[in-house]
């Protein structure tokens, strides 16, 4: 009786560990996919004067949505600027996104 209770506890711990491992792997793959797609899709230079129905505007909206979702998933303010840089954005002088956005 006591040994079966221990086996149940060990199985539960192994299921929790595998769930955590799968969750971390999924998030890493999702962030990597976001970085890869943002690098592959064409860049949109400001000022954007595209029609909302154009393909370039749709690509820009998709890229912004994916980066926003990834930065919300990271939930750590110190990692988000590095993630946005890996996606292809630049900060500082001459950019649409200033240094205040990364702070």
Burial grade of 31 (CB within 10 A; 0-12, 13-18, 19 or more): buried
Residue 1: per-residue pLDDT: 47
Contact criterion met (CB below 8 Å) for 20 and 28: no
Provide the token pair at 82: 């590095």
Question: How many Cα atoms are found within 13 Å in the side-chain-facing hemisphere of 26?
Answer: 7
Q: What is the pLDDT of residue 45?
A: 74
Question: What does the pLDDT look like over 10-33, one tens digit per residue?
Answer: 677 777 888 888 988 998 999 999
Q: Which tens digit of pLDDT belongs to each residue from 39-61?
A: 898 887 777 787 888 888 888 88
List the chain domain ranges.
Answer: 2-102
pLDDT digits (tens, 9 = 90+) for 58-69: 888 888 889 888
């Amino acid at each position: 009786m006591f040994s079966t209770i221990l086996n149940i506890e060990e199985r539960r711990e192994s299921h929790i560990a595998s769930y955590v491992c799968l969750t971390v792997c999924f998030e890493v793959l999702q962030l990597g996919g976001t970085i890869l797609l943002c690098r592959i899709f064409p860049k949109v230079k400001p000022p954007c004067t595209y029609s909302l129905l154009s393909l370039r505007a749709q690509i820009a909206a998709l890229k912004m949505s994916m980066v926003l979702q990834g930065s919300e998933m990271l939930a750590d303010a110190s990692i988000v600027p590095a993630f946005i840089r890996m996606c292809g954005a630049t900060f500082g002088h001459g950019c649409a996104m200033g240094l205040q956005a990364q702070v």
